[in-house]
Structure 1
Amino acid sequence: MKYFLRRIVFYVITAWAAITINFFIPRMMDGDPVSSFINKNQGRISSEARESLYVLFGLDSGASLWEQYVDYWKMLFSGDLGLSIMLFPSTVSEVIAQALPWTIGLVGIATVISFLLGSFLGVVIGWRRGSWADGLLPITTFFSSVPYFWLGLVAIMLFSVTWSVFPSSGAYQPGLVPGWNWEFISSVIEHGTLPAITIVLSSVAGWILGMRNMTVTVTSEDYVTVAQAKGLSERRVMFGYAARNAILPQVSGFALSLGFIVSGTLVMEKVFSYQGVGFTLLQAIGAHDYPLMQGIFLMITLSVLVANILADLAYVVLDPRTRQEG
């Protein structure tokens, strides 16, 4: 019980620090979002409305930073993330709610596939070290060292320009009305296949290498030797004994990956013009949209914290030693 209480206190302090930094960093950036908003709507908004816009967007120029900070916490506790400057009059919650399903659908599925596939291949390669399976290691090393956005550009050049197999941008065919019909769903699958394959190829290599190295380490442990001496099948020893213990360090990495699903792969979404959270965040940064930036950063922070909590719980379930120490 004390273990969980210590972890809860740690995560509460971490959340406070992250939210505080999330408040101050956008305000340290150059540029005035209200001025850019007025310039964008030239002729439709008078310059006399400047002070009202500061108050509307939670950037009251007459209030001190401390007052703005207190007001920001009040808004958070009331569930109000403010109005988006870039997409006014839409609220930040509405903008995030529109972009979040696209990122979770694409990056989430690709992350889970790459983890499961990479862990399985890593166990097999590590268990059969010294065989032909080790010949795959140079390939995995290559893909793990290649920047994923460069891989995305190569994929677009090959499969969208040279061979028109997949669309090069967008989340679905322009002109389609989103709905639960096969025409729209097939268009979403078609547009998401190429970025999903790119994400899997760029991330699966890391899971393979990590799992392979841990499998090689645990195969020399006594409990694996004893299991083999008992005459257990190779499959049972490999997955029931070696893989179960080798996968423990992978859990933390996978939990962090789940947390960063919310942020998406920023550059990847930009390369494919995919309308997810990462693409929206890059647009918000360019437009100095403080409320939207803060809202997205808040979602990323909370998702990473929740993912770490789930990782702690997974360790307790998978490793009996953690339960004894707790």
Structure 2
Amino acid sequence: MKYVLRKLGFYAIALWAALTLNFFLPRIMPGNPVDQLISKLAQKGQVTPATRHAIELMLGSDSSVPMWRQYLNYFGNIFRGDLGVSVTYFPNSVTSVIGSTLPWTVGLVGISTILAFLIGTLLGTLAGWKRGSWIDNLIPVTTLLQSIPYFWLALILLYFFGLKNPIFPLFGGYDVWSVEPGWNWAFIGSVIKYGTLPAITIVLSSVGGWMLGMRNMMVATLSEDYILTAEAKGLSRGKIMVSYAARNAILPSISGFAISLGFVVAGSIVAESVFSYPGIGFALLTAVQNNDYALMQGIFMIITVSVLGANLFMDLIYGFIDPRTRAQG
């Protein structure tokens, strides 16, 4: 129980520090979201000082309010779920923009990350167990795919499987012309079809790291004394590989997997931009291009919470997998 409370206290402080940093960063960056929105409204007519003041209040950028008051209002708005108004998607709120883009990213990047971890861990286990085999010789190939710039790999796949051989769509999240969004098979099938090529890109570019890391840990673990003891007891090779070698070798990969899961919310900005996929990564890129500080701030906050939450969850799981960490923590 003390171990859990210590972890909760540590992550609570880390969350407060991250949210505080998230508050100050947009305020020290060049540019002004109020001016961005006014420039859009000015095209439709004259913007009065009263209108400007109203926009400042709406965006939470009222210069007449002291900084400490803005800081308290910022946390109060977070607890109420009010993250402000997006300049890019005006008059939509930041909460609604995140709510509409987050499921796309979680579905695409989340599933792709899990698949890459499972495939890479399994192949790495077999490669470390059977060194010199054909599986072990796959590592240079997967490492080569990982070393290719992400956008180049996406463009290559898009060229061959979207343009030259139109197996998959070139862009978008679903067929907007013939499918109505909803829980129906037509929409689900369209989403799967449009998300397959981006998912393949993510898996191919990341599976090599999981495979190489697991393979090296398996090689190191197989030289431990308890592996020799298990072999001397006459245990089956399958039991030694799974229960003794892989169980201990996978511990570092679990920590890396926790970080990867946390960054699922951040999305794969490059993949989503290349495929014009309507995820939160594409929304973040659009927000940066339009100096939409409210939307950037909201997305950064969601990313921070997801990363800390994933790490807290895996820390607790890690403590049960390896009891030694509870004694040390």
Q: Secondary structure at the match of 2:176?
A: coil
**For the Cα contact (< 8 Å) 1:148–1:202, is it kept in 2?**
yes
**2:309 equivalent in structure 1:** 306
**For the Cα contact (< 8 Å) 1:251–1:314, is it kept in 2?**
no
Q: CA deviation at 1:178?
A: 0.4
Distance 1:90 1:45 in 2: 22
After superposition, the Cα gap between the structure-2 partners of 1:227 and 1:272, relative to the gap in structure 1 and judged at 3 Å, is same
Q: CA deviation at 1:16?
A: 1.2
Aligned partner of 1:112: which letter? Answer: I
Q: CA deviation at 1:61?
A: 2.4
Using the size of structure 1 for normalisation, the TM-score is 0.96
1:169 pairs with 2:171: yes
After superposition, the Cα gap between the structure-2 partners of 1:170 and 1:45, relative to the gap in structure 1 and judged at 3 Å, is farther
After superposition, the Cα gap between the structure-2 partners of 1:232 and 1:46, relative to the gap in structure 1 and judged at 3 Å, is same
**1:243 equivalent in structure 2:** 246
Q: Structure 2: state its 5+ residue gaps.
A: none
After superposition, the Cα gap between the structure-2 partners of 1:25 and 1:323, relative to the gap in structure 1 and judged at 3 Å, is closer
TM-superposition CA deviations, 1:213-264 (whole Å, max 9, x none): 0000000111111212222221111111100000000111000011000111
**For the Cα contact (< 8 Å) 1:51–1:61, is it kept in 2?**
no
Aligned partner of 1:46: which letter? Answer: V
**For the Cα contact (< 8 Å) 2:123–2:135, is it kept in 1?**
no
**2:196 equivalent in structure 1:** 193
Q: CA deviation at 1:44?
A: 5.1
Distance 1:47 1:117 in 2: 59
1:227 pairs with 2:230: yes
Q: Secondary structure at the match of 2:83?
A: coil
Q: CA deviation at 1:45?
A: 6.4
**1:258 equivalent in structure 2:** 261
Q: Secondary structure at the match of 1:67?
A: helix
Q: Secondary structure at the match of 1:30?
A: coil
Count of residue pairs brought into register by the alignment: 326
Deviates more, 1:58-67 or 1:157-166: 58-67
**1:59 equivalent in structure 2:** 61
Distance 1:90 1:323 in 2: 46
After superposition, the Cα gap between the structure-2 partners of 1:57 and 1:45, relative to the gap in structure 1 and judged at 3 Å, is farther
Q: CA deviation at 1:4?
A: 2.8
1:315 pairs with 2:308: no
Using the size of structure 2 for normalisation, the TM-score is 0.95
**2:23 equivalent in structure 1:** 23
Q: CA RMSD in A?
A: 1.5
Deviates more, 1:144-153 or 1:216-225: 144-153
Q: Secondary structure at the match of 1:288?
A: coil
Distance 2:59 2:217 in 1: 50
**1:80 equivalent in structure 2:** 82
**Sequence identity, in percent?**
55
TM-superposition CA deviations, 1:161-210 (whole Å, max 9, x none): 11111111110112232012222111111110000000000011100000
1:8 pairs with 2:8: yes
Q: Secondary structure at the match of 1:173?
A: coil
TM-superposition CA deviations, 1:108-164 (whole Å, max 9, x none): 000000101100000000001133332112112212222222211111111111111
Q: CA deviation at 1:6?
A: 2.7
Deviates more, 1:140-149 or 1:265-274: 140-149
Deviates more, 1:207-216 or 1:54-63: 54-63
Distance 2:135 2:79 in 1: 54
Q: Secondary structure at the match of 2:181?
A: coil
**1:290 equivalent in structure 2:** 293
Deviates more, 1:8-17 or 1:259-268: 8-17
1:110 pairs with 2:93: no
**1:209 equivalent in structure 2:** 212
